[in-house]
Structure 1
């Protein structure tokens, strides 16, 4: 899990894919955190991405860095605990002007049953996380 976290942090931006009915949706994300030995992401409950993950929690993340890319498939599980939100917001102070741990909008989700594979143009795929 630490290797996945480090890869995503190094990239700064990763792309999160969800399903909206029968249409795939992809958007850039930047938040990633480890809390209680689980990998977390963050968004706002008012956003379409939140509604999509609640309707179908199967997600995929992809990020590219220096000739390697990672694909992470998981089930996104909402964690409404104040402590989880506080931990995420402490890791991203720039978000604190838009999100508060105790507001009705801040959403953190941990990635359950995650599988992460690193690919490159020159080597074989390498699984670095699996359920």
Structure 2
């Protein structure tokens, strides 16, 4: 398992929310679209993220798979990770259950962990850094 991926998950799960940027195609052209996320979990050496097939972010990632996420942790700088989304849902039962419980705790309504709209994705070809106010970008080996 990648120490770098564990670092990313530790960062993302130690704060209430982090932010994922997608690309939204508009009549005026491609525009960034940023929203809060809060679920990340390691499974089989990959970071699993959770959303719904009914959300704008899923549609945007299907149309343009390039994303960037960022999270600021007080006293520790911020993390940046960018790459290409893989929307193939490979979440196992344990990951699905954790994602389901997490989303329900946020106030979302789901039939069960097997609700077909609840979906998981990974980020491939990823690059990541831990950054600081001094301007440093320290690469994380993924």
TM-score range, shorter chain: 0.7 to 0.9
Q: Kindly state the Cα deviation for residue 124 of structure 1 after the two structures are TM-superposed.
A: 2.5
> Which residues of structure 1 form unaligned runs of 5+?
none
Secondary structure (helix, strand or coil) at the match of 2:103 reads: helix
1:19 aligns with 2:23: yes
Q: Cα RMSD (Å) of the superposition?
A: 1.8
> Which residues of structure 2 form unaligned runs of 5+?
none
Secondary structure (helix, strand or coil) at the match of 1:50 reads: helix
Task: Say which is worse superposed, 41-50 or 71-80, in terms of deviation.
Answer: 71-80
- Alpha-carbon contact 2:71-2:78 (below 8 Å) kept: yes
Task: Say which is worse superposed, 102-111 or 22-31, in terms of deviation.
Answer: 102-111
Q: Residues of 2 paired with 1:91 and 1:104: CA distance? A: 15
Aligned counterpart, 2:98? 91
- Number of aligned residue pairs: 128
Q: Residues of 1 paired with 2:102 and 2:32: CA distance? A: 29
Q: Kindly state the Cα deviation for residue 87 of structure 1 after the two structures are TM-superposed.
A: 2.9
Q: Kindly state the Cα deviation for residue 94 of structure 1 after the two structures are TM-superposed.
A: 3.8
Q: Residues of 1 paired with 2:18 and 2:12: CA distance? A: 7
> 37, 45, 61: which one pairs with 1:29?
37
Q: Residues of 1 paired with 2:114 and 2:97: CA distance? A: 13
Q: Residues of 1 paired with 2:120 and 2:88: CA distance? A: 6
What TM-score comes out, normalization by structure 1 length? 0.87
Secondary structure (helix, strand or coil) at the match of 1:2 reads: helix
Aligned counterpart, 1:116? 128
Secondary structure (helix, strand or coil) at the match of 1:54 reads: helix
Secondary structure (helix, strand or coil) at the match of 1:11 reads: coil
